[in-house]
Amino acid sequence: MSEVELYPGRVSPLGLGTIPHGDILEYTGLELLQRIIDNKYPAPPISFQLSFDLTEVSEGRAVFRGMPNERYLNPLG
């Protein structure tokens, strides 16, 4: 895996990928998301496609940050 820029100013050092299946059974959902934030897992591929990343998680809360641009505009702008 190699690093990938998700949007200007934000790089995923582990590139894009998925969580190993064995780890899904080992950790809670909250722990898995925190491990993505801590760069223990690569960013999910959708992060690159939609130019956003997960920045903060806690019980009942998830914060995402992104960089919208013209490719996401609807027909009305």
pLDDT, tens digit (0-9, with 9 covering 90-100), for 15-50: 999 999 999 999 999 999 999 999 999 999 999 988
- Strands 52-58 and 10-12 come out as unpaired
Q: Give yes or no for residue 1 having a pLDDT over 70.
A: no
List the chain domain ranges: 4-68
Three-class secondary structure of residue 4 per DSSP: strand
Average of per-residue pLDDT values in the chain: 91
d(Cα 73, Cα 57) in Å, to the nearest integer? 28
Alpha-carbon 37 to chain mean position = 7
Predicted model pTM: 0.82
